[in-house]
């Protein structure tokens, strides 16, 4: 049996198991078991990625072996999560027995060794199968990242500096901030099933160089642009989108609050109508890039009746001056103020994440997205925008993982331990093979999810690939750091930056546990 046939057998069985477990949990009338629900959601994401990597492998045996290795690891993970808890999953203890031989083939050390040999020779997890146009886009942004971002990434991280204008202006000139803005409003999105693939490809290349100094610059215009496209009036689209796409107006997002993170519907920042204005008051936190931003996307409560919950929220585009540094403040005629203070973080430096305080800050009624028709639609517009953001975050994770893989490969080949290259040891080679399989699976899933988001909203796929890729990035960067030994803990080696940067990915744009329990599992059980 070929590697492709073995992979297909594993994937089909895993899909059946996930579907049966989802149906069982949907029919269960007892108290929720969050552990099983979380595990089901996580496994559904991994299985979906295995399916996409299998489809991506075509008839190429080398790629099929990579897909088989990944699928077998997913099957082993599922077996471990269900062992002793089969009744909670609604499964028979023999559910995976039919693919025992296929899983054994995928976990054969000789298979991992062959995969590792290819990865060590190229530094790549596998081919991307991009169109000529997308390959040109990828090459252009890779050159930019290597010329402009790599040389300053470590200094920005270690000294917590601002992102240099050369990076921001350079990316603006390349159209980086208008990837999902329609062409009629100055962006480059022309429609079609591959509309979001450019964003995914660009994000990976920039994140490969630096998450905080480049890869995340795409996220905020992606969120605010999507909200405006979907909910803004024609006048608002023409007023805001061209400036965003051109990079003339940089963007930040102010949604999370000190006491309300994933529970967005509970936010307390409020906006009160006063004539032709809305008056904003409240505190937001984790507002990344809020200092440099000219536009802040602010979610606020416009319905005084708190019982309205998420139906009482609206979205505003708040314009402010751009500031460098870690603290800033601006006063308004009439006494309104807005001020920000950067929060010190382990990694993800360069953009700075701020706590932002609004005190009687006035905005025009024309700055509420959708104006009167946008009242109460803020939560829904935000969630739609987050699908793009989650997809983009998955691409950020893939870029960080790809960088970690390359550094692990280079170090393993250069470093000798007990008179043998580190890359000659079986354990090293197995680690590298598994790292490559994770990168390839998450990349293939990100490409597929991009098409799903374009075609039908893709809320489930965006949540799944975000959850999977961000957790995978933690493991891949950890293993890359481990392969470096003591040097991996030293700031002079970039792999230490990759490790601390990866840690934030499963927290923002939808925390891992919330995505699993409240987005992925719920949609699985509905279907």
509 an active-site residue? yes
Q: Provide φ and ψ at 4, rounded to 5°.
A: -65, -40
Tokens of 334: 């009439």
* Residue 312 to residues 281, 300, 301, 339, 382, Cα–Cα distance (Å): 16, 8, 6, 25, 13
Contact 487, 493 (CB under 8 A): yes
Interstrand relation of 337-343 and 327-331 (parallel, antiparallel or unpaired): antiparallel
Tokens of 307: 């019982």
- Active-site residue among 102, 195, 406, 509? 509
Count other C-beta atoms under 10 Å from residue 524's C-beta: 21
Count other C-beta atoms under 10 Å from residue 315's C-beta: 27
Contact 164, 350 (CB under 8 A): no
Residue with tokens 């471990």: 80
What is the C-alpha separation between 520 and 527, in angstroms, rounded?
11
Q: Which residues contact 382 (CB under 8 A, 6 or more apart)?
A: 227, 255, 264, 299, 313, 315
Q: Is 291 exposed, middle or buried (0-12, 13-18, 19+ CB in 10 A)?
A: buried
Nearest to 177 by CA among 321, 302, 98, 294: 294
What is the C-alpha separation between 161 and 279, in angstroms, rounded?
33
Tokens of 49: 């990625």
- Burial 149-175, CB ≥16 within 10 A → b, else e: bbebbbebbeeebbbbeebbebbbebb
Helices (H), 91-149: 100-106, 109-122, 132-144
Q: Dihedral of the CA atoms 199, 142, 163, 154 (nearest 10)?
A: 130
Q: Dihedral of the CA atoms 505, 508, 514, 519 (nearest 10)?
A: -90
Q: Is the dihedral of CA 318, 321, 326, 327 positive or negative?
A: negative
Cα angle: 509, vertex 123, 395; to 5 degrees? 15
Q: Is the dihedral of CA 142, 146, 148, 150 positive or negative?
A: positive
Q: Dihedral of the CA atoms 236, 215, 504, 404 (nearest 10)?
A: 160
Nearest to 220 by CA among 323, 297, 328: 297
List active site positions.
Answer: 509
């Amino acid at each position: 049996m070929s590697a492709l046939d073995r992979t297909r057998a594993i994937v089909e069985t895993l899909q059946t198991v996930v579907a049966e477990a989802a149906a069982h949990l949907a029919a269960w009338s007892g108290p929720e078991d969050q552990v099983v629900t979380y595990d089901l959601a996580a496994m559904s994401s991994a299985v979906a990625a295995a399916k996409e990597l299998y489809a991506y492998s075509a008839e190429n045996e080398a790629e099929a072996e990579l897909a088989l290795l990944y699928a077998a690891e997913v099957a082993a993970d599922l077996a471990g999560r269900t062992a002793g808890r089969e009744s909670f999953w609604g499964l028979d203890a023999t559910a995976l027995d039919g693919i025992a031989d296929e899983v054994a083939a995928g976990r054969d050390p000789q298979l991992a060794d062959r995969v590792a040999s290819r990865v060590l020779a190229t530094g790549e997890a596998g081919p991307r199968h991009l169109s000529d146009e997308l390959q040109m886009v990828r090459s252009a942004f890779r050159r930019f990242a290597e010329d402009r971002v790599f040389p300053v990434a470590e200094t920005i991280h270690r000294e917590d500096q601002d992102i240099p204008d050369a990076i921001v202006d350079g990316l603006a000139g390349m159209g980086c901030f208008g990837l999902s803005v329609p062409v009629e409003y100055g962006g480059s999105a022309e429609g079609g099933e591959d509309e979001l693939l450019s964003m995914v490809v660009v994000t990976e290349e920039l994140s490969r160089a630096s998450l905080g100094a480049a890869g995340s610059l795409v996220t905020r215009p992606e969120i605010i642009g999507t909200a405006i496209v979907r909910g803004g009036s024609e006048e608002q689209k023409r007023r805001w989108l061209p400036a965003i796409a051109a990079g003339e107006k940089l963007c930040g997002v102010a949604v999370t609050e000190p006491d309300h993170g994933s529970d967005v519907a509970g936010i307390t920042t409020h906006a009160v109508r006063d004539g032709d204005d809305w008056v904003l008051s409240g505190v937001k936190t984790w507002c990344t890039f809020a200092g440099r931003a000219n536009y802040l996307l602010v979610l606020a409560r416009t319905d005084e009746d708190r019982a309205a919950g998420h139906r009482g929220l609206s979205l505003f585009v708040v314009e402010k001056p751009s500031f460098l540094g870690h603290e800033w403040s601006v006063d308004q005629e009439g006494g309104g103020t807005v001020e920000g203070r950067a929060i010190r973080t382990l990694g993800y430096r360069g953009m700075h994440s701020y706590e932002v305080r609004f005190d009687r800050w006035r905005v025009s009624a024309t700055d509420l997205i959708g104006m009167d028709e946008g009242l109460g639609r803020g939560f829904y517009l935000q969630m739609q925008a987050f699908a793009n953001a989650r997809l983009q975050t998955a691409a950020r994770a893939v870029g960080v993982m790809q960088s970690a893989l390359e550094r692990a490969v280079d170090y393993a080949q250069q470093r000798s331990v007990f008179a043998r290259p580190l890359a000659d040891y079986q354990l090293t080679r197995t680690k590298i093979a598994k790292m490559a399989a994770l990168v390839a699976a998450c990349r293939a899933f990100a490409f597929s999810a991009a098409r799903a988001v374009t075609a039908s909203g893709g809320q489930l796929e965006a949540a799944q690939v975000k959850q999977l890729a961000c957790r995978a990035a933690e493991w891949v960067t950890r293993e890359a750091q481990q392969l470096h030994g003591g040097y991996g803990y030293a700031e002079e080696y970039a792999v230490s930056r990759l490790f601390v940067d990866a840690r934030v990915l499963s927290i923002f744009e939808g925390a891992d546990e919330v995505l699993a329990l409240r987005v992925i599992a719920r949609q699985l059980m509905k279907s």
